[in-house]
Amino acid sequence: MCRVLAMILAGGRVDELSVLTLERPKSALPFGGMYRVIDFALSNLMHCEIERVGILSQYRSSSLTHHVGIGASWDLVGRDRGATLLSPQKGHADTDWYRGTADAVYQNLEFMDQHQPDLILILSGDHVYHMNYRRLILYHQEKKADMTAAFVEVPREQAHRFGIGTIDEEDGATGGRLLDYAEKAEAPAGNWASMTVYLFRPDLLARLVAENARRGSSWEFGRDIIPAMLGRHRVYGFRHRGYWAYGRTIEEYWRAHMDLVGENPRVDLDEWQVRTNLDDWHLRDRPPSLILPGARVSDSLVSAGCVVGGEVVRSILSPGCRIAEGASVRDSILFPEVKVGPGARLDRVIVDEKAVIEGNVRIGFGDDRTPNRSFPDLLSSGITLVGKKAHVPQGIRIGRNCVVGPRFSPEHFHRPSYASGELIT
């Protein structure tokens, strides 16, 4: 059987996600109530029986390290199985920080050499999707490819935000030769976006990243490695048909959650059979959710340990959330152990872990969609963020496109009302 070593790129912080990634890498972000984003890549690997995994972590990775552990939650424990966290290490002349995705792989060539794989599968740890990597591997082998990259179709008006590949029609819907590739071009030639799923011949990968370490300008696969391979190596594009969420921006992260709820959800996570670490957030020890008499829950996901006494509509409640009687949560995402007091109203809000929203607070009120004054490109669609362990006191009103900083305590609120677009830190 073909021996495949997976390398998950899981260490980056994304500035576009503001306070949500201030203390954690994007791959460790909560998603869908009881999961973290990296669970999707790990679950895909588990279902495909790819059982040797290196996880390239870097930015404030304690939550990621705790969550993944040794990989037991994904059956990655055994003689020829395992998950290894690979943090950057300072060498004689090297930086102690990964300079980019290609540099992260280059700094771990020794790890790859130890396992002597037939193929190396490189994945992003911060995308939400369900994929059978075995189909990609079979296609790669059939074409005797040096490298095969997976692509997914995106709306043409959004194509400029992605690395876009031009794939010939050699194998129809399955894929074909990769004819061209451009990373985030202003006028992309097509709309097949890179999923950051790459399958490489190990000897070639080692040579390419070593050369890139000496001469590269960005140390990234999309900007340096893939374009340089075209015309020199057998490079193929594989067309993935299925749901894929990028989630790089606040709007995308929120919308990916909204795809889980509503009258006709686009995604059924139970059908995907996603695994997670049940010790994280004490999931295995929590009782079932409790919906109190008089409460109303519709088109929502409510996780274990939640107690709901108010209204929850088109929202995701992570483990241990408490919604008091008379409170209303709409079109919102609540991370674990958030408390919402009686009479509070949340509309289009993302609330980080262990935040407290006291009674009669209004967050996301009114029709004013003024973009955030400090970060207009990040917050302009009406979503307000409340940081980790923030405590919003009784009766405060906060508009749309606002940010409440982590650990912001009641004494820091000097006004009863904050207009849309304010940075409250």
DSSP state of 81: B
Measured CA to CA, the distance from residue 276 to residue 255 in angstroms comes to 22
pLDDT for 93: 52
Distance, in Å, from the CA atom of 215 to the CA atom of 142, rounded to the nearest integer, reads 32
Domains of the chain listed by start with CATH number = 4-251 (3.90.550.10), 286-424 (2.160.10.10)
- The Cα 291–Cα 309 span in angstroms is 6
The per-residue pLDDT for 80 is: 87
Residues with Cβ within 8 Å of residue 1, at least 6 apart in sequence: none
Sorted by sequence, the CB contacts under 8 Å of residue 363 that are 6+ apart come out as 344, 345, 346, 347, 349, 357, 384, 386, 392, 397, 398, 402
- Give the chain's length: 425
CA distances (Å), 30 to each of 24, 26, 123, 203, 276, in order? Answer: 10, 9, 19, 36, 11
Query: What pTM was computed for the model?
Result: 0.95
Which residues 6+ apart lie within 8 Å of 82 measured at CB?
A: 51, 52, 53, 70, 71, 76
The pLDDT of residue 1 is: 64
Instruction: Please say whether the beta carbons of 301 and 260 come within 8 A.
Output: yes
Q: Which of 78, 101, 89, 100 is nearest to 200 (CA)?
A: 101
d(CA 199, CA 85): 20
**First vs last C-alpha separation in the chain:** 55
Name the residue with tokens 């870097």: 58
> Is the Cβ–Cβ distance between 168 and 177 less than 8 Å?
yes
423 and 387 in contact (C-beta within 8 Å)?
Answer: no
Tokens linked to 297: 């829950």
Per-residue pLDDT of the chain (425 residues; tens, 9 = 90+): 689 999 999 976 667 789 999 889 999 999 999 999 999 999 999 999 999 999 998 777 788 999 999 999 999 998 889 999 998 765 555 555 778 899 899 999 999 999 999 999 999 999 999 999 999 999 999 999 999 999 999 999 999 999 999 999 988 899 999 999 999 999 998 999 999 999 999 999 999 999 998 887 788 999 999 999 999 999 999 999 999 998 889 999 999 999 999 888 999 999 999 999 999 999 999 999 999 999 999 999 999 999 999 999 999 999 999 999 999 999 999 999 999 999 999 999 999 999 999 999 999 998 999 999 999 999 999 999 999 999 999 999 999 999 999 999 999 999 999 999 999 98
Q: What span, in angstroms and rounded, lies between the C-alpha atoms of 384 and 392?
A: 13
Spatial separation of the C-alpha atoms in residues 360 and 47, rounded to whole Å: 46
What burial letters (b/e) apply to 102-120, b meaning 16+ CB within 10 Å?
Answer: bbbbbbbeeebeebebebb
CA–CA distance, 201 with 23 (Å, rounded to integer): 36
53: how many CB neighbours lie within 10 A of its CB?
26
Q: What is the arrangement of strands in the sheet containing 333-334, beginning at the earlier edge strand?
A: 301-302, 316-317, 333-334, 349-351, 384-386, 403-404, 423-424
d(CA 127, CA 12): 12
Tell me phi and psi for residue 9, to 5 degrees.
-80, 105
Region of 70 on the Ramachandran plot (φ > 0 left; ψ -120 to 50 alpha; else beta): alpha
Residue 212 phi, psi (nearest 5): -65, -35
DSSP string, 180-194: EEEES-SS-S--EEE
Q: What are phi and psi of 304, to 5 degrees?
A: -60, 145
Amino acid at 383: I
Residue 209 phi/psi, 5° resolution?
-75, -30
